[in-house]
Chains A and B, each alone.
Chain A
Amino acid sequence: MTRADTGRCPEEELTLYYYGELEPDERRAIEKHLEGCAACRQQLAALEPLLGALPKPVIELGTKEKQRFSAQVMERLDRRQKRRFLPLFGGGLATAAAVLLLLLNTGSPPDLAPPAGNNGMVAELEGLPEMELLRNLEILEEFELLQELGDVNDHA
């Protein structure tokens, strides 16, 4: 049952009537209502010119514009595919660095060990290569994080 059947003014149905979105029985009910309701007839009469006057713009794209657009899509696609590859490469590099670090730790020659009685400064200086590797690992992790953030932003 529509609001037209109940005798109330069916505002939403009038909009749908204009757009031809009513079922046949609903349409008949509205038409019957319109016969007896001057307010709804007036409302519909005002709706038709207003909606009819609203522009329905169409964007025309020439061949060059289409080519430019598709080239941009392909460029973004290429960038994304490369980005998907880079974390894998970065991850491999990080693993290799971790293995190298492990080897350095386990295979330290005895003469590199800090002599007894030295203050901590020497030990710190000798630990520099490891620190460098750790820093590189951190950079790699940050790089991967940045890549992920980039992907998230791209998806957003």
Chain B
Amino acid sequence: MDEGTEKIILEQILQGNDRAFEQLVQGHAAQILSLATRLIGDRDEAEDIAQEAFLRLHRSLGTFRGDSKISTWLYRTVSRLAIDHLRREQRRRKLFFFRKSDDEEQPDPVESAAAPDPSPREALLAQETQRRLNTVLKKLSPRQRAVFILRHQEELPLKEIARILELEEGTVKAHLHRAVTVLRHELHDLKEGSP
């Protein structure tokens, strides 16, 4: 959605046109749901987070000054909601000494979307790599995980990530390095050419 169209839609929303808001949601749904799923690792929970981000956007539109793009605003909100969600999950796990074993986990929809039109063997390898990556990502702190996802998968520059997460750039660098160190340790057997 280009900025001109977005501006027109915003004006329509501010005039009380709910259909225009629905159009805005549809325009950003894939990108925001994709980000939420990567951050959370669970499609259902990610949908909930992504929907909450759009509801908060609707509530804030009256005061939206247009300093940032809608997508940036949504990225920021989803990232923060996801970090809060992951922290609550970690606390809950600690509190109840409960953690699902890998065998109990539901298949991740990200796994099936990992590679477009792969051969069956490649698809299987991609699923296995994704499953292992998800397991390792759970060992990171919510912030380390968010920084890694935003840098490695979303390919955002660290300066932008620092703004999104309201962290010092040095802290973001440290989180990224910590995440990479854990991944290197846990996935050292992955070879070049793997999907």
Contact = CB atoms under 8 A, between A and B. Distances in A.
Interface of A: 11-12, 15-16, 18-19, 21, 46-61, 65-67, 69-74, 76-77, 80, 154, 156
B14 interface: no
A61 B33 CA distance: 9
Given A15-B180, A50-B184, A53-B193, A69 B113 contact: no
Contact of A49 (B51, B115, B153, B192): B192
B130 A77 contact: no
* The 10 residue pairs across chains A and B that have the minimum distance between CB atoms: A49-B192, A59-B34, A70-B25, A61-B30, A12-B177, A53-B194, A15-B177, A57-B110, A66-B26, A57-B114
Contact of B133 (A12, A54, A60): A54
A9 B39 CA distance: 31
Contacts, number: 119
A59 B180 CA distance: 24
B115 A55 contact: yes
B140 interface: no
Contacts of A51: 152, 180, 183
A58 B154 CA distance: 10
